[in-house]
Chain A
Amino acid sequence: MIQVAVFAVVAFAAVMAGVFLVLTRNAVHSALFLVGVQLCLAVLFLLQGAFLVSVLQIIVYAGAIMVLFVFVVMLLGVDKKEALIEPLRWQRPLAAGLGLLLAAEAIYLALSQHIHVGSGGLKAGPHEGNVQSVARVLFTHWALPFEATSVLLVVAVVGVMVVARRPRPPSSGRTDERMA
């Protein structure tokens, strides 16, 4: 019973924070609401017994990634006002309509009985906790994709170095348009 109560409160908070993330004008407030969503999702993971994922959610998402977001928001200036004039007049109603359609479809799928609920895939061992069992599956069956993520991270780091590098100062006698 207490599970249902916790789920109701946290799910409501997550949805509200998500809606306010989209609606608020200030980018910093959006970032704070996103942190709220992620904390609520961490609780929902806990409710489902995914302890490792829940902790990772807080450390990686609400910790590292959101700090990066807030840092860039501050770097780019928080006082920039978003233009209220929409160049395409029909875009917002269309977006709202398509959003409602998407939500209706997804909720219909969630409620339909076509989802085969049963047992399959890799299971936890008899006396393993969540961390041990996830680690065993990750490092045995999913070992190759796990190694591939390291390649992905290296590529991302190199790409960021290239993108974020300051443009070279223009050589004498040639004006570089990119410096403008």
Chain B
Amino acid sequence: MRVPGAAYLIVSAILFTTGAVGVLIRRNVLVMFMCIELMLNAVNLSFVTFGRMMHALDGQVAVFFVLVVAAAEVVVGLAIIVAIFRRRASADADQINLLKW
């Protein structure tokens, strides 16, 4: 007996929502960034599930590209966080307000 695709999609939806809420309520920049990674992972699960439901391989190839983009994004994002921390000595999103009007 196979698990229906909708079950995987529900898990993916819950994980994506958790990540989105985490970005909204957390103030630590690093944890916000991890929540973004959580959202990317949830979307990966959706890709693989849709690929299986459609009997196609494109979903798994899309996961591959998401992986590459996530790696590049993490590297650039963490470099920006380190650069900000070097100037402000803070990892709090509320402290990063130089661009605020």
Write the residues of chain A forming the contact surface with B, with a CB cutoff of 8 angstroms: 1, 3-4, 7, 11, 14-15, 18-19, 21-22, 27, 30-31, 34, 37-38, 41, 44-45, 47-50, 52-53, 56-57, 60-61, 64-65, 68-69, 72-73, 75-77, 80, 82-83, 87, 91-92, 95-96, 98-100, 102-103, 106-107, 109-111, 115, 117-124, 130, 133-134, 137-138, 142, 145, 149, 152-153, 155-157, 159-160, 163-164, 178, 180
Contacts and interface: CB of A to CB of B under 8 A. Distances in A.
Contact of A106 (B16, B81, B92): B16
A52 B51 CA distance: 14
Nearest to A18: B18
Interface of B: 1-3, 5-22, 24-28, 30-31, 33-35, 37-38, 41, 44-45, 48-61, 63-65, 67-76, 78-83, 85, 87, 90-92, 94
A27 to B, nearest CB: 5
Give the secondary structure class of A's interface: helix
Given A34-B38, A76-B82, A48 B52 contact: yes
B13 A50 contact: no
Contact of B60 (A4, A50, A75): A50
A103 B16 CA distance: 8
